[in-house]
Copies of this chain bind each other. A is one copy, B any other.
């Protein structure tokens, strides 16, 4: 169905190789010959077959694999956007897949991407164990991790947010506004960022001589509904917290719902910025970071690896920024 170079060659009355030369803009073809070839290409609607090209070349498929949890989640879609920008600049395509936080699916995705011979891998890891990647890395597939590091055994670049520092800054902001009873909503403790942000929360309290009250810490809420329930529970305590620190935007929104529903004036600082945070009934003070930047930095690192640069594994920490909007500045009752 699709014409090949051979078909073009036949039609133009030249050899296969000459067509190849014209298609690739190589020198050493007389203008009139090139014209004949181009006419044939246009007439037949020929498109060079990049599959064959990649096979013959043996080296580059000019593609990179991106494994994230879920494109529909703005955090990941912004990462994807950052990756796409860099890929575009390097004339690469992005082949992406959603792991949905399922280690088996992540593994399957990565394996399939390797089978497709992507030139590099960008992964937001879900699985705990990435040793299965070691052979792939050895075989020369470059890989860069984002948002969460792989375990020690893996020698690869990582681009992370400064989770500890950001969380600490957020909680210290609440402390600076007079809060002492500060609750913490963290995601499942199996998640790296949840642990790190929890650590920042602890550090902030400790640094200001406040003992961590485990009854104010909720590890586990994983979605808006869970966070809403957990917050409602906290607000219903005999001695409720005067402020809440939430470990990600889902949790922030859940907490917000509960606080709003309870008609409470509990202060709130959340990790992750989100659209409309400034438009809410109480604009939300957040620890912001820049997922697109994470995607860009990771993709850039990956491209350097793909170009054969041989640095020791990098660990990039991206800064956060506290955005003060109102919810984090109300004093304790």
Q: Which residues of A contact B (CB under 8 A)?
A: 1-2, 45, 47-52, 54-55, 61, 63, 70-72, 74, 77-78, 80-81, 84, 88, 93-98, 111-117, 135-136, 138-140, 253, 256-257, 260, 274-276, 279-281, 292
Contacts and interface: CB of A to CB of B under 8 A. Distances in A.
Contacts of A50: 112, 115-117
Contacts of A72: 74, 77-78, 80-81, 292
A96 B63 CA distance: 11
A279 B257 contact: yes
B48 A115 contact: yes
A113 B52 CA distance: 14
Contacts of A98: 81, 84, 88
A115 B62 CA distance: 12
A317 to B, nearest CB: 23
Nearest to A72: B81
Contacts of A95: 63, 93-95
B139 A45 contact: yes
Contact of A280 (B52, B74, B280): B280
9 contacts: A47-B114, A52-B55, A70-B81, A72-B78, A77-B77, A88-B97, A88-B98, A93-B116, A260-B279
Contacts of A97: 84, 88, 93-94
A257 to B, nearest CB: 7
Contact of A51 (B48, B61, B279, B292): B61
A51 B117 contact: yes
A55 B50 CA distance: 10
B276 A253 contact: yes
Nearest to A59: B1
